[in-house]
Structure 1
């Protein structure tokens, strides 16, 4: 798991990001957790841009985009095994 912080409208949100170990084209690659609960899944396209798979936590769209942007900034050259970082 890799912790990330997202600031949106002067509020700080803390999440943990984990990589799905058996990713294929049919499954989401990244899981985002808040307080131990799965809140969203993302998958990168071939250009390493994240796309939302499922919004389990019913997060608002601006927060979803901020989470994706934060993860993309950490890994600008593609996604590594997050649990090894």
Structure 2
């Protein structure tokens, strides 16, 4: 619930320049968090894992082909792994 509150604050009060930081609690991440607080960072959501700064980014994707879908039946999306859709 707190993460949702943070996202709402970022979207509704941009003048506050809020950041959400997900820290794994490792000693390296805690040290990196101290450095992060003194450094301007681009992006509203950041993760610290073992002292490494991570952020979600969209990458360009080139379609490699065309999937022909027959129109004769219903379809169900069934992801084989989490985050596949």
TM range (shorter): under 0.3
Q: Which has the higher contact order (CA 8 A, sep 6+)?
A: 1
Q: Which has the greater radius of gyration?
A: 2
Comparing both structures, which one devotes a greater share of its residues to strand? 1
The TM-score, its normalising length taken from structure 2, stands at 0.24
| Structure holding more helix per residue | 2
